[in-house]
Structure formats: C-alpha cells, structure tokens
Chains A and B, each alone.
Chain A
C-alpha cells in the first residue's frame, strides 16, 4: 500500500508540473474566459452537446451545472454567454 500511495503522489505532482508549464486558457479582452473554450473545457468532459436551449432555459441549466460539476462562477458565466451567443446551434 505504501508503494501505491507513493506512486500516486508522484504521478500527481509530475502531472501538476506539466500542467503549470502549459499556456494559460484564452480570455476575452474583459479578462473573462472565452465562452467556447470554457464550454469545451467543462461541459464536453462528461456529456455530449445539450439540446437547443432558450436563453431563459440556459440560465437555469447553468445554475444546475454550476452545482453538479462544481464549476467556478467565472466558468459558468462564460459558458452561459457562449450558449446565448450560439443559441439553437447545440
């Protein structure tokens, strides 16, 4: 068990180091994460594209996903903007 724990910790630290060296995620001129990027980064990790959402549905679905996936508020807002901008295309 000790060996397993050591391997897991070492793997975690090495991967963390790799991640830190990579370029930061793209942001908009206002400093918010790019919506399309936030969508790809967060939503498609678990599921396929959602059905087309009206703007009023998108609001409540993003609240749901903010809780279910523990999304940072910043990312939830960026994804919501993306859904509104590309309404009907998902």
Chain B
C-alpha cells in the first residue's frame, strides 16, 4: 500500500537546500527613480475596455487513441470608474477523439463561463467580488489554467478537485506586512446553481498565503467545504518559488482530503535565458513534473479524479516564437494499476490583446 506524501520530507529538504543557496547568493539591485512625467500620465489617461485571451490547438496521443483539442478562451475587461472592473472569460473547447479500432467518436464541444465578475476595490487592501468566479483553491485554477500560461498542457491529476467556478462572492486582497512579506487572502461563498455552462456547487472556502518578494517565494494554504451532498472537505497547500540566482521556477500543490483523496504535484521549469545559451535556444523552457494521487477508501461519485492510485511523470519543452506565440511538446508516463501508458502532447498556443 502506498503511503501518501512519503516523498515530501525529501522534497522539503531539497527545497530548503535551494533556499539556503538562493538567499546567500542574492544581491541588491540599484533603485531607479520614478519619472515625474509618468505620474501625471498615470492620472490623465482613463482605462478602456480590453479584449484579451488565448487560442490553442493541441494533439494528444495515448495508446489506441488520438485526440485533437482546439480551445478558444476570450477574456473581456471593462473598467468601471476608478474603483471597479467587470471581467469575464468564456471558454469553448472541442475534443475530437479518434480510436485506432473504432474510428472517430462524436465531437463534443464544451462551453463554460470560467468567470464573469464585478470587482470593487473598496480600499488598498480589500476587494469585493460578486458574480461568477474561478475557485481560488490552491493556485492552478486562478493563475495557471490559461493554456498560454501552463507549462504542460495536461493539467495535474488533483486539478480535478478544484477545476470549477462558483456563483456568489469573494473578499480578497493583498496586504504588505513589511518590506519582506506580503499577505494574500481570499474568502468565498458560492450558491448552488444548475446549468452546464455556468453551474456551481454550494460551498465555502478560503486561500491565504505569505509571499516573500525578495526570494520570490510564496507559500499558500487553502480550504474548501462543500455544503451539499457528501459535504466534501479538502485542504490544500501550494508553493511557488522563482529563484533569482538560477533561471529555475518551482511550483507545487497538494490536496489533503479524507473525502476526495490525497495527492500532490511538483513542477520545475528551467528557462534558457541569457547570453550563455545559443541564440536559437534562448526562447525555450524545459519542464519536468512529478505527481501522485491516492483516492479515498470510498471514491467520490461524479468526479474526474482517478479511481485508483496513480503516479505520473512528464517532461516537456516550450519554445516562444515571440511574446504571443508558443509551441510545445511533452512526453508523460502514467503508472497506475492496470493502466500504465505513455502520453504524447504537441501543441501551439497564441495569446491576443486588443
């Protein structure tokens, strides 16, 4: 039997070793004075509505099956005076599946309203959000889910727990506790809403984190409790660390839940930036991710979490043709009882802004 998180002590020790090296090697950049003219511009130029978002096309190959996954996700941002913002993201995703033995499956087209919310900046530390919002459990859903941001196109196994949106409200903000530490917080409540495109569960939760800007390290904690059905409770932790001394980014999340299971993923990205690499290599990233998931004794119904213990390892490569266009390729191997298989993924991501 697997013991959940039995690798964590080793990961923690490794992380601390990196922290020591990172902090010791830091240098203090020289402050740059502000341009007074820019401050005037800042006040004089009112914001305008913006349309942004991403378009991506991926092909995935697993034994006996090939998938084509086009996704379009426009984001609309509409400023409200000096104190508000309406923001919305709508995602359309097709999943064309070809089975080696049986041919093409019917083509399902998924449509979902990721968020459609009104943000009110009450003051410098408190923002009220009302409407439909992406669930702020851990960091993947809010910050990393966009296809042009993901380092690997296949999301982590435990993302199925938090891949949802809520209809209700949030209180959130960022508070600098000192020059070295920021506190981030989000508390939310969502009401039950039926519907395929904009449905939600009745639930409540929070995420809070401490961000240390000097070493660029954030450590977060999340809690989510479903108020209907099986009353599932989940706890999460997340860490992001963008090293200053090395072009290395580390991201990790865990899910701890007696009802939904336990799991984690750890991802490292090496950026080939700077003069020591050949010119053709400089827009590249190498990615590696390891993850595990262990379901509860009584698996949840209606969940996309795996039904058995699962371990996956991915390696990938991203290449930025320019700031808006990226091509990617990845190889993964899943280890699960009766389901060991390879997974190949190639794709192209484009982000736009008008």
A interface with B by C-beta (< 8 Å): 1, 3-4, 7-8, 10-12, 14-16, 18-30, 32, 34-37, 41-42, 44-51, 53, 55-57, 59-61, 63-64, 66-75, 80-81, 84-85, 90
Contact = CB atoms under 8 A, between A and B. Distances in A.
Given A11-B12, A75-B174, 8 more contacts: A22-B180, A23-B28, A26-B29, A47-B148, A56-B47, A57-B48, A59-B79, A61-B50
Interface string B100-122: 00000000000000000001010
Q: Is the interface of B mostly helix, strand, loop or mixed?
A: mixed
B144 A46 contact: yes
B174 A16 contact: no
Contact of B15 (A15, A59, A64, A74): A15
29 contacts: A1-B5, A4-B4, A4-B5, A4-B9, A12-B219, A15-B15, A19-B23, A21-B23, A22-B26, A25-B179, A29-B34, A35-B34, A41-B213, A41-B216, A48-B323, A50-B353, A51-B351, A56-B45, A57-B50, A59-B48, A60-B79, A63-B77, A64-B77, A64-B85, A64-B87, A66-B174, A70-B184, A73-B121, A81-B38
A69 to B, nearest CB: 6
Interface size class of B (residues with CB under 8 A): 35 or more
Contacts of B212: 15-16, 19, 22
Interface string B29-40: 111111100110
Contacts of A3: 9
A60 B50 contact: yes
The residue in B87, B125, B213, B218 that gathers the most chain A C-beta atoms within 10 A of its C-beta is B213
Nearest to A49: B323
B34 A32 contact: yes
B23 A18 contact: yes
Nearest to B208: A70
A8 to B, nearest CB: 7
B34 A73 contact: no
Nearest to B262: A1
B181 interface: yes
B237 A8 contact: yes
Where chain A touches its partner, the secondary structure class is helix
Interface in B172-210: 172-176, 178-182, 184-186, 209-210
B50 A74 contact: no
A19 B142 CA distance: 25
Contact of A34 (B32, B180, B181): B32
A53 B144 CA distance: 21
Contact of B34 (A7, A12, A81): A81
A51 to B, nearest CB: 5
B41 A51 contact: no
Contacts of B119: 63, 67
